[in-house]
Amino acid sequence: MEAEIKEKIVSMEKPHMEAPPDWQPVIMGILCNWCSYAGSDLTGTSRIQYPPNIRIIRVPCSSRVDPWFIIKSLQTIADGVLISGCHPGDCHYISGNYYARRRFLVTKKLLNFVGFHENRVQFSWVSAAEGAKFAKVVTKVTEDIRKLGPLHLYKKENS
Partner 1 sequence: MKLTTYSTDQAGLQAFYEAIIRAHDTYGPVEKFGKFDFKKVNSLSECDPESPIPRTMSVKPLFFPKSAKVMKYTATSAGTELSDTAEDPLAGKRVILGVKHCDARGLQVLDAVYKWDYIDTDYEKRRENTILISPRCDQAATHCFCTSLDYDLETLDAVDVAVINGADRKIYLQARTEKGETFLKENATGLTSANGSAEAEMKKQYETFAASFRLKMNYQEINERMQGQFDSPTFEEVPSSCVSCNTCAFVCPTCHCFKISDEKIRDKGVRYKSYDSCNNVYFTLMAGGHNPRPVKYRRWRQRAMHKFVYYKERFGVNLCIGCGKCTTSCPVNISIFEVVTKVASSMQE
Partner 2 sequence: MDYTKQIQDIAGRLFSEGKIDIFIGYRNTGFDENQVPVLIHQYKDVDQLLFTDKSVFNLANYLKYEHTRNKRVGLIVKGCDSRALNLMLTESQVKRENLYIIGIACEGVVNETGEKAQNCVECMMPDAVVYDELLGSATGKREYQVNADIRELDEKTLTDRVEYFEEIFENCIRCNACRHSCPLCYCAKCCIDQETATLFHGANTTSSAFHALMTWSLHLAGRCVDCRNCEKACPIHLPLHLLHKLNEKVIYENFQENLAGMTEGDRGAFYKYSLSDPDDFIL
> Which residues make up the interface to partner 1 (CB under 8 A)?
76-77, 156-159
Q: Which does 41 bind (CB under 5 to 8 A by kind): partner 2, partner 1, none?
A: none
Of the candidate residues 48, 51, 56, 72, the single one contacting partner 2 (CB under 8 A): 72
Which range touches partner 2 (CB under 8 A), out of 18-26, 34-42, 53-61, 109-117? 109-117
Q: Is 147 in the site for partner 2 (CB under 8 A)?
A: no
Own/partner pairs, 106-114, CB within 8 angstroms, 24+ separation: 107/67, 107/70, 111/70, 111/74
Of the candidate residues 4, 20, 21, 113, the single one contacting partner 2 (CB under 8 A): 113
CB of 78 to partner 1, least distance (A): 11
Characterize 72-88 residue by residue with b for buried, 16 or more Cβ atoms within 10 angstroms of its Cβ, and e for exposed. Answer: ebbeeebbbbbbbbbee
**Rounded Cα distance, 51 and 49, in Å:** 7
Q: Which does 17 bind (CB under 5 to 8 A by kind): partner 1, partner 2, none?
A: none
**Rounded Cα distance, 6 and 12, in Å:** 10
**Rounded Cα distance, 146 and 36, in Å:** 23
CB of 42 to partner 1, least distance (A): 31
